[in-house]
Structure 1
Amino acid sequence: MQLTSRLERAIGKLYNAFHDGTLNPECCNHCAVGNICDNTDSWKYLSDAHGSVVLNYVGLVNQKFGKRISGYTPLELLQTEAAFLKGCGYSLPLNYKSIKPKDPTSKETLFNGLCAAIEYLCALDGIENVMDYKSMFQFEVNSPKMELQPV
């Protein structure tokens, strides 16, 4: 399976953030999109609320002019963040009334969010979900359908 360069970079950044303990869904610098955008918060000015998939004026202008941040359009970034937050267990958009997970930075919560975000990023590039492990366990007449590549 060949990944696009933007997807490979995004997954690498998310992987590092997850294992370094720097992934935080409630911080715009350290959430999924914050990490994809090199821990900057420039993407947060594209909408009026964290977790919203509605572009504001700044977002619309950037979208219409074809602006890309880390290879993604403003709308793609907002949708990636929404997938991540929903996967973590948040109701969107985030505000003081939002449903939140009990432990937003637990590895289990973050892993669930990353699975949702990466599934969305793969779909954007028309690539089979790299997080889908189910295909590894499919078999035909006592032999696996899929061969794992040696590491």
Structure 2
Amino acid sequence: MEIKIDDLTGGEVISLLEEHLADMYATSPAESVHALDIKALKDPSITFYSCWKDTTLLGCVALRELDANHAELKSMRTASNARQLGVASMLMQHILTIAAQRNYQKISLETGSMDFFKPARQLYKKYDFEYCGPFDDYQLDENSKFMSRNI
């Protein structure tokens, strides 16, 4: 598997992100969806990564710099044909390595509170993320869970 910085122009990546957004809107009330669209993911504060095996897209993740010490994990998604292959763990390890290289002191994330998001929350706990309050511009929301960990 290879993880690389992605420019968000490939059809496979766009399709995966569209699937991700569709699931978020199908699972959460619109006002509680914090997933970013492709235009938002192209913001200079965000580095977007895709994971590949040969020419097959396996997943993606983004890292958004909130400030010099704090980053946010965004848009983590494993392709449906790559579930249970360790892709999410590989992406998480990659993001944590990048965060350490950039000298961030903390990485945070927002995810849903519904059962649909339970596997994601279990993955984050496995990597020592702990529940916390809202960060950055987020507001308290019963449909959101906020997590962070020190680097």
* TM-score tier after normalising by the smaller chain length: under 0.3
Normalising to structure 2: TM-score of the pair? 0.28
Normalising to structure 1: TM-score of the pair? 0.28
Bigger Rg, structure 1 or 2: 1
Higher strand share: 2
